[in-house]
Structures are given as C-alpha cells and as structure tokens.
Structure 1
C-alpha cells in the first residue's frame, strides 16, 4: 500500500492545519512542536505530501483563530436577552522557583442563552502590571467591558475580599451609574465570593488546631518516612481487612483547611490500621488515643459540612445563587451548635468562626435572599421563616427583603412591559376575531378597572401558588423556562438573579491552566499570546477542557500509597491552585 493511500482522498490542508492548531491549543503544546524531528518524520511517513507549518506560522494561526472566535463570542453576547454577570481575579505567574513575574487579570462572563442554558466564558486573560490598586483595576475592567460592548447588560460582578476590590468596585459602580447603566443604581452590583468567605471562617476556626489533628499529620509523616514503614503499614491494613479499597491515605498541606479535612477523613478510614501499627511498632508513638479518635470524628464531621458547602458554592455548571441562603443559614446553625458544645476544642472553634461569620454574614446578602425566593421550592416563606428565627416575627430585615423584591420586579415590569402586550397580541391574531367583537372592548375595560376586582401581578401570583416539595431535585432554570409564558416578566427576572455566580472559582480555574501555558519552559511568551491561547482554549473546548487541567481539592494532598521512599518531599503541591482560596 502506498503512503498516499493512508490519507483520505478528501484531504483538506486548511482543515488539517486548523485541527493541528486546535490540538496545540487544547493540549498546551509548544509552538516548536511542529518542528520536532520525530513529529515531522511521523507525518512524512503517513504521507510525504503533508507539510507541517513552522512555529511562526503556528503562532500567527493561533492569533487568527483567537480573533475569529472572539468575534463569534462578541456576536453571541450581543444577542442574549438577559443580563451578563462577571467574576474576576488576579494572578501572578511564577516561571521559576524564585521569581514571580507578570501579573494577569482573569475576567469571566456568565450568562444564559436563548435556550436557557447557563454559560461561562473567559473573555479576558490579560496582562495587569502593578499597581493593582482600586483605581487601576477600575480603569482596566471598565476598558474591557466597553471593548466587549456589554456595559449596558451588566448585572453584577463577583469578587473576593482583596482590599483593593472594595475601592475598585465603588469606583466602577459610580462610573456605570453616571451613565445610567446599572439596575437600581447598582444596588446589587457587588457580590462577595462566598467560597472565599467560607474559607476565611474555617481558617479562623482552625487557628488553634487541636493536638489530635497534629498527631494525625505526624502519623502520616512517620509512615511515609521510609519504604520499610510504608510496607509495615500495608501489612497492618491487610491484617484489619481494609485491603481492596482504592481510598488513599492523604498528607495535607497545613495552610489549606480543605486538604486537612481530606487528610482526617482518610485517617479515620484507616483508623484500625493505625491502631494495629501502634501495637506492633514501638517507635510509632504518635498514634491518637481512643479519646483523641473521638475528637477527630467530631472535628471531621464538623468540617465535612463546610467542605460540602464550599464544593457546592464553587459549581459553575448550575445556578448557585439560590443555594446561598439556606446553606448559610445552616452554617450559622452549625457554628452556634459548636459554640454550645461541652468539649473545649469545639467551643473554641465555634467561637472563632462566629467572629468571622458576624463580620461578613451577619446581614445576609440582599440579592441572594431574593434568589431563594425565586426558587419554587422555597419562595418567600423560607426567608420569612429564617428571619423570624434570627430577628423575630415581622422584622424590619424581612420587610426590607420583601420590599426590595417588589421594587426590582417593578423595574423589570417597566423595561419588559412589551412582553405582556405581545403575548396578548398573539392570542388575538390567532383567534381571527371579527370586527364586530370590538364593541365588547368597553365591557372588557370596565371589568379590568372595576372597583370590585382584585388584580394581581405576576409576582403576587407566583408567591401565592403552592410551593414545590423542598426535597424535590429540580433544574431551577429549566423550571422557569417552562413557566416563561405563565410569567413572562418574572421569568426574566428569575433567569437573571439565578445566574449570579456566588464564587470566583470560574475565574480562578483559569489560573491552573495559565500555569501550564506560561511555565518555566515558556516564560518568554508575550501577554497577547498567553491570552490568545487560554481564551481560545476555553471558547473552543469549553468546560471539558478546563476540567482536564483543573486542580481539584484532592490534588492539594499527597496519597502516601503512591509515594516511594525516595520521594519524601512534603507539601510539594502547595503551589497548586485551591478553588476555595
């Protein structure tokens, strides 16, 4: 068989080149990949007629593809009917072990398309030189949103608690309000990253970590200290009948509370093996006592809830704003329970957490309280119930939420009143009414405006209808899509409020990929090339590509079963990106 026979007779060189460029972008391959001697030999063997481009041509093709995909995204953002939501964060690339170089700003847009599907797109990953002050950040992001032409569609921006962000968002809010671009004068524009706040709360609780947790850390360090100890632990695992499990024994990074939780959870799983090792190895002196194992169970159970909530808040595939209010209510309940616990270590953890909780969440976010009302499983009843428990019946806090929801609905009614008119128009034209029927319009008008008629708007109708079962698992956006004709205005409001991202994880996730695009071997890439590579990767391959490279929480820990005695470096994953930091 000839070499040309291996190639499709419909071979299109332009298509081949585009696929090659896409592969380089998706898999973070260097531009020089096309000049590798082995790669060229491989393609020459497949067909001598295939000519690989040089690295400079590849670079030019990447920029051309970036511009093409950017224009497609620009068109998409211009066509969406709802609001656009932003998340943003800063990142500094570390291209070697000692020097941190360029700063980058990641800006991610969240929106719902015409089919009511939730999307996120990294719209910028651009060079951000110092100073990273509030003024500099506001100028940069204002220029970016103007360049994309989305300033008239903005609803909110979600940021972490970096000190510069407070002044930055105040300046940007004033600039947008001066042009009359924000809803209700930007009342809902600034959303704080809930995952970041939750991380701060738990970190405060773990400032004075219990000695039993330190013992677990020492146990794992002891076991992984030599191949002989690790083999001995394997034998203890087999003796207590745990063999066959794929669960690893994790070594944490002490500065990351989520990795500490994973370490404790894995240690409890292998508890009997630890105890067995303590009985057979006289040098193994750090094994927790029975009382300390009980403490570890309580700490792990307590941290487990925060871990689950953090993971839930960090989602980007589903609406998260409606998850906030009930989860934060339970967080507060768990903290109060810890404060009332008889054990001193739990009481101390709860007290420290409560101080941070009161700082950030003593007044629940107003727009996120509205989000839970727009979940048909909760509605206004839940907010009223929660505020009654917190502030008493008919509290001013509850009235403020209710009144704000009414005001927000009035704003949407004013902007979208044509939706109701057009719906009525469709019904009239479909019925082909005769001219003579117009005589009854006087009756219709008198009925609508009669003094005995109690007219309800969409919001009142929605709130009066029976709630869905709270335990029912539903796609909230899909529910509102089905109810779109029933609530033409309220469904638009719900779509926008439910799209609000409550964490900056979507922007932070770009950093793990950025660290691979701009590593110590490719540190000379120009900022515009870095942005072209990372953004095009996101636009072409979406969530799947990001998930391939994302550092999840477990990647912050080491599985000692996978370590050899030569690889005893502890904390080597501390440079990973934590989605909850």
Structure 2
C-alpha cells in the first residue's frame, strides 16, 4: 500500500463479518482481503486526480486567485495590509491551503501592474476618438487635502457614448486658474487629447471658468449646480421661507440625534436636499408634531399655515427636483437636453401655474425662479456648444428651443459648420501642391487680367456649391420627423451616418458633452 493510501484509509473489524476498510475521503466501506489491491483501485479511480488538484492548484488556478485578490482591492477600496490580517489568513488557509498569500508590498505591485495595463487599454480607446469633452471637479477634505478629478467623454467608432477617468490627483498647489490649467494640460497631453477637446464642463466656481479661458476651451457650467443655485437664491430671497428652512433644520437635527425618525437634513452642497427635507417633514407632519408636543424641548412645532407654505413650495420645486435628478442620472446623451429641459421648467412656472399657488411667499419664489430661468436660457441659447448639440439631437431639433428666433440662428450656424466639414474634406482629398496640376497654371495666369473675372466667378461658384450642399443636408435632416424623446439619439446617427455623413461628424463632436459634472463627482466619491 502506498503512503498516500495508508493516510486516507483505515482498518476496522465489523461484527460478524470479515475485515473491512473505510475510505477517509468518501467514507465508503471496502472488503479487506489481506492485500491493498481493492484500496488502491478505489483511490486511483475516485480520488487521486481530485486530491492532486486540491493540493496543487496549478498556475492557472493561482493566477485566478491572484486576479480575484486584485479585484477585491480595487472594487472594495481595501488597504494592501488586509492580506496580512490573521482572520483573512485563516480564511484563505481553509479555502485555498496551498496558495501562498502575497505580502502587502507584493499586492501593491500587483495592483500597480493592473492599473498600468488598464490605463494603456483606455488610452488605446481614447486615441481613436474624433472629439472629446472633459469634466472637472475639485474636492477638499475636512483635513484640507484637495483632489482634482478629470473625466473624458466621447463617442466611439460604433457610435456609443464612452467615459474614461483621466485621473484623480492629489492637488497640493493653490487653487488658481493657472495651476488648474497646468495640471489639466499635463493630463490632456498624456492622454493625447489636447487638440480634440470640444468643451470643458465644471461647476460655477470663478477659478474653473478662468481655467477654461486659460486653456482656450469652450466652457459650460454644470446645469445641475446652476439649478441648485437658482433654488437657493429664490428661497433666500424670501425672509419667511428662510425662517421656515431654519426651523425645519432644527426639528430634523433634534430628531436625527435623538430618535430613528426617517427625516432628511438639508445639506448646503447636496442637490435637492431642501426639497427632500420639506417633503419628508410634510409627509410626517402629524407624528412629528405629536412628538414635539409631548417632549420637553424649546423647538416650536410647525403651524398649519407653515405647512401650507411648505406644500406650495413643494409644488414649485418638484419639476426642479425631477430635472436635476434626470440630468445627474443620465447615462446617455445629456448636453443636448439642457435647452429643452430648461424650457419645460420655464413652462412649469407660467403665469397660470403660478396663479394656482395659494400662499404669497411661494408665488414670490416661483416668480423669482421664472426670472432666473429666463436669464439662464438666454445665456445658454447663445452658447454654440449647447444650441448645436440640441439641433443635432433628433429627439429635439428646432422644437427643443425656448426661442424660435434662436432656433433659426442655430440652423444657420449648423449649415456653416456643415459647409466647413465639406470644405475640409475636399481640401484633404485634393491633389497635393507638389503634384502637377492646375495650381501652376493658375499662379501664372493670376497676373493676367484676361481671365481674372472668370477665375473669380469659378471660385465663387465652388463656394456656393459647398454652401448649397450643406444647406440641403441640414434641411433634409431637419425635415424628418423627430424620434421619440426616450429613444437613443446615437442609435439614430449610427443608422443615418451614410445618409448625413457631414452632420454625423458634427454629432460625434457635439453630442459627447455632458450636461453636468456629476461624472467627476462620482469619480471623486469612488476614489477617495
């Protein structure tokens, strides 16, 4: 009997029967006839391969375990030292006793290798993009440590929207526009997109706007941040509503610290938190009022008149809550949605809608919001990156505009952009200057007055033909019925890129711009 077979089998006497052995691996009983043949046959047929695999996982199994370890660090943000924990070692000893756990230093090297491999793959994908938009955000911790995040958004060769985190860097310099621009330039250069950026999307901080000017990039402010600021200004404009907010914060703070009431506290930097605080208090106003009445506290319960004001405020703010939530959660094309969405918000604050609000304080807030929205719309509709993306979105086209006149101007600009694409294509496909062509003849004849009028007319005719071709393509596209609002505009362009080849190139360049800087904030929340 081999040494292994002795270890896995035992000899025992059954009452009233012959000697038998029991396999310690499967507990099967075998007849013992003073030799080991039966035991060896059983072990070799059922256990030898299984046990060898368990004790010697092999290179493929070890590689799989190593990959899972790296995934655990990356996905769960685990520290490298967790592999040296006593409990984790015991767990691995039970699950994979023959796998040698890496040290924290080795694990760090494994994660660094994965990072470089993933980064190179991402660079290869980004390098194929025709145009990109970037979003940027700066975050400072309670320990005054700052981090700068930059994300890149583009439409790939299959007409699908892609996003890549270019970097989340520890930012130790002063938060000046020059320093921000220097860091972003280094990232754009490293990723090879310096000449491909069509727009930079950030929050409304002055240094971010100045940074875009320093980089000579188109700049647009995160719409979700803008709506948040609009709501705050409108509320702060009313002394009565400001007092209600203050009292609501005290009530929520009291219950959040002493009970398990499911109330929501207002947070200055969190979008829609005021709306959610009002909504939850209004929904729970009876139990909250009863609790305050029975407790020894100097906090006054909210009156019936106050709840009427809160109810009206919720009516006014509900569309804003829907808009910011929709823009923040959007995983498809979103920049083209800004003008139509703000137009619909403005419609929700029409005079007849405001007239249905009972309280004067809420009506005043609604009117203030309406004025702010009109100013914001006028500003956004003058930005080429916004109105061209709206016009190039087959869901909206011209009917997405707040102003019909602005829609006409946008169409004119789109024709101009389309004509520029056609001219660029013609110039890139024409013979080079070194090739013998009519260029040499033209240079000789330019001095002759005989052909001057003909040459000028010929050149003008060529320009007219380009503009006419661009006009026909744009008008044919705009004359088509709009696709459904919930449809994917990029699927439309993938199907129509052969029909409208020049507009397709413009759609790839302009529809990649996101409406908000939320992708950057998600990167910061995940990385830090």
- TM-score category, normalised to shorter length: 0.7 to 0.9
For the pair shown, the structure with the greater C-alpha radius of gyration is: 2
Match of 2:212 among 169, 177, 186: 169
- The alpha-carbon deviation at position 285 of structure 1 amounts to 7.1
Q: Quick one: distance in 1 between partners of 2:279 and 2:74?
A: 38
Q: CA 1:9/1:67 → structure 2, altered by over 3 Å: closer, same or farther?
A: closer
Deviations 1:273-331 (A, max 9, x none): 34665787797973333333221111012122111111122235111112111111233
Q: Could you tell me the TM-score, scaled by structure 1's length?
A: 0.67
Is 1:405 aligned to 2:419, yes or no? Answer: no
Q: Quick one: distance in 2 between partners of 1:70 and 1:285?
A: 55
In the alignment, which residue of structure 2 is the partner of 1:325?
A: 339
The question of whether the paired residues in 1 share the 8 Å contact of 2:473 and 2:500 is answered with yes
In the alignment, which residue of structure 2 is the partner of 1:380?
A: 398
In the alignment, which residue of structure 2 is the partner of 1:362?
A: 378
Q: CA 1:281/1:41 → structure 2, altered by over 3 Å: closer, same or farther?
A: closer
Q: Could you tell me the TM-score, scaled by structure 2's length?
A: 0.73
Q: CA 1:31/1:279 → structure 2, altered by over 3 Å: closer, same or farther?
A: closer
In the alignment, which residue of structure 2 is the partner of 1:90?
A: 138
The question of whether the paired residues in 2 share the 8 Å contact of 1:339 and 1:349 is answered with no
Q: Quick one: distance in 1 between partners of 2:363 and 2:322?
A: 22
What SS is found at the alignment partner of 1:125? strand
How many residue pairs get matched?
A: 438
Q: After superposition, where does 1:286-297 map in structure 2 within 5 Å?
A: 286-297=300-311
In the alignment, which residue of structure 2 is the partner of 1:523?
A: none
In the alignment, which residue of structure 2 is the partner of 1:249?
A: 263
The question of whether the paired residues in 2 share the 8 Å contact of 1:3 and 1:48 is answered with no
Q: CA 1:3/1:26 → structure 2, altered by over 3 Å: closer, same or farther?
A: farther
Q: Quick one: distance in 2 between partners of 1:12 and 1:418?
A: 57
In the alignment, which residue of structure 2 is the partner of 1:263?
A: 277
Is 1:118 aligned to 2:172, yes or no? Answer: no
The question of whether the paired residues in 2 share the 8 Å contact of 1:198 and 1:310 is answered with yes
- The alpha-carbon deviation at position 400 of structure 1 amounts to 3.4
Q: After superposition, where does 1:93-172 map in structure 2 within 5 Å?
A: 93-94=141-142, 99-101=143-145, 103-172=146-215
The question of whether the paired residues in 2 share the 8 Å contact of 1:278 and 1:285 is answered with yes
- The alpha-carbon deviation at position 399 of structure 1 amounts to 4.5
- The alpha-carbon deviation at position 349 of structure 1 amounts to 2.4
Q: Quick one: distance in 2 between partners of 1:49 and 1:39?
A: 15
What SS is found at the alignment partner of 2:497? coil
- The alpha-carbon deviation at position 223 of structure 1 amounts to 4.5
Q: CA 1:206/1:114 → structure 2, altered by over 3 Å: closer, same or farther?
A: same
Q: CA 1:136/1:249 → structure 2, altered by over 3 Å: closer, same or farther?
A: closer
The question of whether the paired residues in 1 share the 8 Å contact of 2:316 and 2:362 is answered with no
- The alpha-carbon deviation at position 335 of structure 1 amounts to 5.2
Q: Unmatched 5+ residue regions in structure 1?
A: 174-185, 234-247, 389-394, 422-450, 516-581
What SS is found at the alignment partner of 1:250? coil
Match of 1:195 among 191, 207, 224: 224
Q: CA 1:61/1:279 → structure 2, altered by over 3 Å: closer, same or farther?
A: closer
- The alpha-carbon deviation at position 133 of structure 1 amounts to 1.3
Deviations 1:496-548 (A, max 9, x none): 32221121111111221233xxxxxxxxxxxxxxxxxxxxxxxxxxxxxxxxx
Q: Quick one: distance in 2 between partners of 1:339 and 1:93?
A: 41
The question of whether the paired residues in 2 share the 8 Å contact of 1:4 and 1:47 is answered with no
Match of 1:458 among 469, 473, 484: 473
Q: Quick one: distance in 2 between partners of 1:267 and 1:345?
A: 19
Is 1:41 aligned to 2:126, yes or no? Answer: no
Q: Quick one: distance in 2 between partners of 1:48 and 1:280?
A: 61
In the alignment, which residue of structure 1 is the partner of 2:43?
A: none
Q: Quick one: distance in 2 between partners of 1:47 and 1:346?
A: 65
Q: CA 1:31/1:257 → structure 2, altered by over 3 Å: closer, same or farther?
A: closer
The question of whether the paired residues in 2 share the 8 Å contact of 1:336 and 1:350 is answered with no
- The alpha-carbon deviation at position 224 of structure 1 amounts to 5.0
- The alpha-carbon deviation at position 158 of structure 1 amounts to 0.8
Deviations 1:363-411 (A, max 9, x none): 223322222222323322443xx314xxxxxx4x454323222222223
Is 1:65 aligned to 2:110, yes or no? Answer: no
- The alpha-carbon deviation at position 26 of structure 1 amounts to 1.0
Of residues 403-412 and 3-12 in structure 1, the stretch that sits farther from structure 2 once superposed is 3-12
Q: Quick one: distance in 2 between partners of 1:223 and 1:206?
A: 24
The answer to which structure, 1 or 2, has the higher relative contact order (CA under 8 A, 6+ apart) is 1
- The alpha-carbon deviation at position 419 of structure 1 amounts to 12
The question of whether the paired residues in 2 share the 8 Å contact of 1:278 and 1:284 is answered with no
Deviations 1:18-54 (A, max 9, x none): 2211211111111011111221222223343210110
In the alignment, which residue of structure 1 is the partner of 2:496?
A: 483
Q: Quick one: distance in 1 between partners of 2:176 and 2:429?
A: 46
Q: Quick one: distance in 2 between partners of 1:93 and 1:342?
A: 43
Q: Quick one: distance in 2 between partners of 1:418 and 1:202?
A: 50
Q: CA 1:420/1:350 → structure 2, altered by over 3 Å: closer, same or farther?
A: farther
Q: After superposition, where does 1:536-547 map in structure 2 within 5 Å?
A: none
The question of whether the paired residues in 2 share the 8 Å contact of 1:202 and 1:257 is answered with no
